Amino acid sequence: MAVTIMLDSLNNKYVMAAGRTLLVLIYFIGGLSLLTGDVPTGYAASKGVPAFAVWIGFAIKLFGGLAVIIGFQTRIAAGLLILFTLGTAFIFHPFWVEGEWNTFWKEISMIGGLLVLVAVGPGRLSVDERDKG
């Protein structure tokens, strides 16, 4: 009971904003490689992924991550990150390959967090909510 009261007293708009940011920070930071030109097309090519698809993937990471962080078109951005992550899980970290099991399930866990974001939205401290008012 005391824990519930304590959690209810937190200002949830800040908790949601922090949670959104922490959830997608790995995508956004990875997507910054797009700006430096340091996109690992060689590794992706070894997995059969064409270079243009890698560039699109890094753009999704950069712009999708940024959109979620600021809370702009959050549900759509989270949906794109889900599709991206599902692809990377099966292409680059298939659970049936030795040594990839743990990374595969980390990717699937990220999808779980993104699904929650799709379900509940960005919270009050976001561009999406500001546009409603």
Among 29-38, 52-61, 63-72, which stretch is predicted with the lowest mean pLDDT? 29-38
Mean pLDDT (whole number) for 110-116:
97
62-91 per-residue burial string, b: 16 or more CB within 10 A, e: under 16: bbbbbbbbbbbbbbebbbbbbebbeebbee
Residues 85/111, Cβ–Cβ less than 8 Å: yes
Q: Give the pLDDT of residue 4.
A: 61
Among 30-44, 46-60, 85-99, which stretch is predicted with the lowest mean pLDDT? 30-44
Per-domain boundaries in the chain: 10-125
Q: Give the pLDDT of residue 6.
A: 58
Fill in the amino acid letter for 51: A
pLDDT band with cut points at 50, 70 and 90 for residue 7: low
Alpha carbons 90 and 34: distance in angstroms, whole number? 22
Alpha carbons 21 and 29: distance in angstroms, whole number? 11
* pLDDT tens per residue across span 30-39: 999 878 888 7
